[in-house]
Structure 1
Amino acid sequence: MKAKNLVSMLLAGSMILGLAACAPTTSTESSQTPAAEATSTGGTGTSSDYLVYNVGEEPKTWDPQLNTSSMGGHVILNLYDGLVRDTKDGIQMASAESYELSANAEGVEDTVYTFHLRDGLVWSDGEPVTAYDYEYAWKRACSPEMASPYAFLMTDYIKGAYDYFSGEGSADDVAVKALDDKTLQVELIQPTAYFLNLVSWFTYMPCREDMASTGEGWEKDPAKCVTNGAFTLEEYQVGSHILLKKNENYWNADNVNLAGVRILFISDATTSLQGYEAGEINVTSILPGSEIPRLLAEDPNFSSEPALGCTYLQFNMDADVVNDLNVRKALALAIDRSMITDQVLRDGAVPAAAFVAPTFKLSTGESMRPLDENGNVVEEYEIDPYSAKVEEAQEYLAAAGYPNGEGFPELNILYYDSGNNSLIVEAVQQMWQENLGIHVNLQVQEYAVFTNTINSGDWSISFTGWSADYNDPMTMLSLFTAEGLNDSRWRYKEYAGMPNDTTLNPENEAYDTAVKMAAQTSGTERDGYLKEAEDVLMENMVICPINYTTYTQVIDHSKVSGPGRTPVGQWDFQYFTMVG
């Protein structure tokens, strides 16, 4: 996530969920301080202290089939165990000990996966984990009643899943079946080389029907949040924190050395840094851009590395004014991206002229992006990543009927308050004023409200971003298919997952077709379809790229030892240890 979801440069996921209706279980402890006192659990970890991690924004949900944000994803990854896990050493077996790949009944090779679960798997309450739990969860994600924003991660791949989701089929038509307690079989629409990467994502995590069926918000109640991963939910306090406690029933519990994890909700980057420097936060990526140069120069606990993501302005393709391509191009070309990366972010982020980051590779091993002889990104789609093209931007605005900005209505840039988001949109606001003579208002909302506003369609321009759910360009390009999240409402046909998006955009069909062909092909042929899809997206300027993201974080190595993030930027704490 949305689930992608991305906090500009800090990987908060975007996108679209509903607020949980049931009240979470809370404690009476004060929620006003970020301090995290040592907490003893009596478990078998090497320390009784909980690792303290600041996630930033409070997750709206950590229901595996409803979440789309990276914040919720961090929580899910530590509570649940999928069939496989994505690690720096590649895809590793997790709750499944093995799998087989075979042909379907029509003889199409590599379309049927048969997973074999480990012996003795149990939930945190001692009940057996079975293949039926995975079947339930996967079909739950495809349910039209659930209306999961991430349903496309299954409906685009699993036979019968889209028919069920669209109301034209039933759950029995979804080709996911528990053959017995330990065997799960799934048939794909066509061979998909990165399917195991998909299975490692949180949407594919299991959940218990007797708990998940109790109503929205079940995952926030420790009595109902039964888990099969390294940790269990011990406590949730609204606006303050989550406590995760080591799950002694986890199949790999002997290798989990933490007593637990305290996850804080501190969205203000300065406060987050202060908590770390006071010794109250062990791990966080919520850091003020103004402090990055100092941290890079002085703090050995700080690290920065290229990420699989992009931040961007997205246009509501059904909204007045920005539904004009000339307006969108004018706005995109009037931005000096290098000023934002060099003076605002200052964390190694790369200015972007396209959507898919250069860290994504083609089948040849080459970057998705054309690079110069020094490995730097270059101008694409009329966007110079290193400077604004003011004259060309003004020409496009005049062609739209607004010479020198005359008569241009006041629009809002919608964004949510986290990390450096406000600094970025303020810079964009000033550039549009100076380079185009137009004024836009800045509309900030809490993340939960932001996602609801995006879902309603009542906006024109928003600032957001996306980070990889899996290490393949499709994790980015699948967002804007007619049946994807597609927050820009750029669809050529109606979609059951977004019933209020009824204004259709014919140009999306060519994009949709190219993405579907990329899913069905391989090698250089597939590379061509990936590039074709991005060409359609960018030539229509559906989004205005700002920068390719970096993973920036501090890990207090005097207190914590661990492997860092997963390849797609998630924090999996099961192999971390308290050392101080």
Structure 2
Amino acid sequence: MRKVFKKVVATGLALSMLLGMSACGDKNKAGDTASAAGNYKSITTTMSMESGTLDSAGITSYWWWSYTSLATAPLVELAADGSYKNILADSYEVNDDMTVYTFHIKEDANWNNGDAVTAADFLNTITRALDPDCGNGYSTMLLCIKGAEAIYKEGADISTLGVECPDDKTIIFNLTEPTAYFMDLLTLPVFIPTHRELQTETNGPWSMGEDMDALVSCGPFYMAEYVPNQYCVYKKNDSYVLKDEIHLDEVKTMAMEDTQAIISAYKTGELDIATADYTVLEEYDGSDELVKYVATTSNYELFDITKPPFDDVRVREAFSISIDRDAVATACGTNYIGTSFFVGTGVISKASGKTWSEEAGGELLTYDVERAKELLAEAGYPNGEGFPTVTYKYPSTQIESDIAQALQAQWKENLGIEVQLEAQETQVNISDRRAGDFDICRMQWTADFIDPYTYLSMYRTTDSYNDNGTNCSEYDALMEESNKESDPVKRYELLHEAEKILVADYFWAIPVVNRETIVLMNPKLTNRIVDPSRGNIRTKYLDIE
């Protein structure tokens, strides 16, 4: 299984050669590819342009999520019925007070180079992620483990960490207190194993695809070929513990972001799967090529609250309640809905079985232009007069441009304020946001696990994803109390209260829209399983009819 890393390839040639390998302009290429090469099954899909690294303990962003869906494996994953399916875990036990989780790793769990997957591989990721300099936005999700907070925040010795490895195939997590969502955390980057000997350099060359021998996989596929910012080729990993559940031999992922270009590539047979938008709904209405499902994605805007003018809560409220969210959604297309909720409206409550918005019993914000004008005048900017120049930064995709222009127009009309727009490459936008270099910045969050905590935890004072300087002891206390609460009804009440503080009391963030995901899929692709945690199709399980 020779691995190839290509650094310099002419873009046009590389794309045409890769697509030509299986497409040939035929819309039903997946089935044709399989029949043309015996039982060899290959599909082509897309990935976001590169951002971050492939290191589970390092800087994880869009590229990592594309990679992990194919080439890594967790201890367990969430099934559609809410149960947990064992992946690398053979079995597990939880003590009575839910503070000790013991996992037994499958004896036949191996890396694709033949090395055994051991408890030390999980510990390798965890200990590196507890280095505050690692750049991992999920490090704080480890702080439920005994000793982890003191290690991460105070530099305590790693030997005080409450993770035990009594033998190669057993790992024990000792938690500081019951954590209702701990099993859900196990699919996050910081709980994904990395090879204890080959992948120890955080954000090192291996994590950028530059050392393919070190980029070993314990998941369904391994990365066999990679051309930066162009494409990746993944081959089936015959060492994977559940290889019999994997039907594809190869997955090619093209680096593409423009939605219309992706749709066009699907129509010409260059892609088997395409994340589309509302423009395809009429054309594909009634077709089994059209797949729709509710995303757990929230689009919202962040203020830099550390300096004027957005250090004034009156200004933040004026900007928020002067937005007609339904009008913004209309500008985006029929698969978008306006929302005043920070948590994804479609997230199902473990307390009531209702969606998050249904359980809340009403919107958090009211569109009120007159009140917005009053607030702005109270803050010293009547009709927007004297308001400093501010810039809204956003990724340079069509949908984000639509949102940006709709917001700009409403703030101009309703507040008399001309907000400058700055479209950026995705990686630049993320870097600026993480560095706090913005006035207003687009943020999007897709649930990592089905619990409101995955959204709300980011704006605790010390959270590594707190990019806008939110600092509120009241909010922190509610989030901490929710962690300790074992009654799901009472716990969700606390989380609803925390969201209200975030969005409707202090206006640290502006929720704007949620969306329904629209996907076009080759009709010959079967076994379409949706990940209930992240609201996307699990490519690894697909088959060809």
Relative to the length of structure 1, the TM-score reads 0.85
- Where in structure 2 are the equivalents of 1:209-358 lying within 5 Å? 209-214=196-201, 216-219=204-207, 220-221=209-210, 222-285=212-275, 287-289=276-278, 291-295=279-283, 297=285, 299-347=287-335, 349-358=336-345
Work out whether 1:98 is the aligned partner of 2:91: yes
- Where in structure 2 are the equivalents of 1:9-88 lying within 5 Å? 25-26=5-6, 29-32=9-12, 33=15, 36-38=19-21, 47-88=39-80
Please state whether the residue corresponding to 1:54 is helix, strand or coil. strand
Quote the Cα distance in structure 2 between the aligned partners of 1:546 and 1:536.
17
Letter in 1 for 2:227: Q
Quote the Cα distance in structure 2 between the aligned partners of 1:67 and 1:570.
22
- Where in structure 2 are the equivalents of 1:118-517 lying within 5 Å? 118-155=106-143, 157-214=144-201, 216-219=204-207, 220-221=209-210, 222-285=212-275, 287-289=276-278, 291-295=279-283, 297=285, 299-347=287-335, 349-360=336-347, 361=349, 363-370=351-358, 378-381=362-365, 383-384=366-367, 389-492=368-471, 508-517=472-481
Q: Which has the higher helix share?
A: 2
Residues 138 and 189 in structure 2, CA contact (< 8 A), matched pair in contact too? no
> Which of residues 446, 463, 485 in structure 2 aligns to 1:521?
485
Query: Taking every aligned residue pair, what percent have the same amino acid on both sides?
Result: 26
Please state whether the residue corresponding to 2:197 is helix, strand or coil. helix
Shift of 1:353: 1.1
Higher mean alpha-carbon deviation, 158-167 vs 212-221, is at: 212-221
Shift of 1:195: 0.9
Residues 288 and 419 in structure 1, CA contact (< 8 A), matched pair in contact too? no
Quote the Cα distance in structure 2 between the aligned partners of 1:167 and 1:57.
36
Please state whether the residue corresponding to 2:134 is helix, strand or coil. coil
Work out whether 1:562 is the aligned partner of 2:527: yes
Letter in 1 for 2:6: T
CA 1:134–1:411 in structure 2 vs 1: closer, same or farther (change >3 Å)? same
Work out whether 1:551 is the aligned partner of 2:517: yes
Shift of 1:491: 4.1
Runs of 4+ in 1 over 6 A off after TM superposition: 39-42
Please state whether the residue corresponding to 1:358 is helix, strand or coil. coil
Shift of 1:513: 0.7
Residues 131 and 184 in structure 1, CA contact (< 8 A), matched pair in contact too? yes
CA 1:246–1:546 in structure 2 vs 1: closer, same or farther (change >3 Å)? same
Q: Which residue of 2 aligns with 1:505?
A: none
Shift of 1:358: 2.8
CA 1:419–1:302 in structure 2 vs 1: closer, same or farther (change >3 Å)? farther
Quote the Cα distance in structure 1 between the aligned partners of 2:449 and 2:227.
31
Shift of 1:270: 0.8
CA 1:255–1:37 in structure 2 vs 1: closer, same or farther (change >3 Å)? farther
Q: How many residues align?
A: 520
Relative to the length of structure 2, the TM-score reads 0.90
> Which of residues 506, 509, 521 in structure 2 aligns to 1:540?
506
Residues 460 and 466 in structure 2, CA contact (< 8 A), matched pair in contact too? no
Quote the Cα distance in structure 2 between the aligned partners of 1:68 and 1:532.
30
Shift of 1:317: 1.2
Q: List per-residue Cα deviations over 1:424-468 (Å, max 9, x = no partner).
A: 101111111111111111111112111211122221101121110
Letter in 1 for 2:225: E
Quote the Cα distance in structure 1 between the aligned partners of 2:171 and 2:267.
47
Quote the Cα distance in structure 2 between the aligned partners of 1:407 and 1:362.
48
CA 1:47–1:314 in structure 2 vs 1: closer, same or farther (change >3 Å)? farther
Residues 55 and 266 in structure 1, CA contact (< 8 A), matched pair in contact too? yes
Residues 51 and 61 in structure 2, CA contact (< 8 A), matched pair in contact too? yes
Quote the Cα distance in structure 2 between the aligned partners of 1:265 and 1:170.
41
CA 1:518–1:318 in structure 2 vs 1: closer, same or farther (change >3 Å)? same
> Which of residues 115, 125, 132 in structure 1 aligns to 2:103?
115
Q: List per-residue Cα deviations over 1:538-575 (Å, max 9, x = no partner).
A: 210000110123222111123x2232431113443332
Quote the Cα distance in structure 1 between the aligned partners of 2:382 and 2:150.
49
CA 1:379–1:133 in structure 2 vs 1: closer, same or farther (change >3 Å)? closer
Quote the Cα distance in structure 2 between the aligned partners of 1:249 and 1:227.
9
Letter in 2 for 1:96: A
Residues 38 and 48 in structure 1, CA contact (< 8 A), matched pair in contact too? no
Letter in 2 for 1:224: A
Shift of 1:47: 3.9
Task: Tell me how large the CA RMSD over aligned residues is.
Answer: 2.4
Letter in 2 for 1:337: R
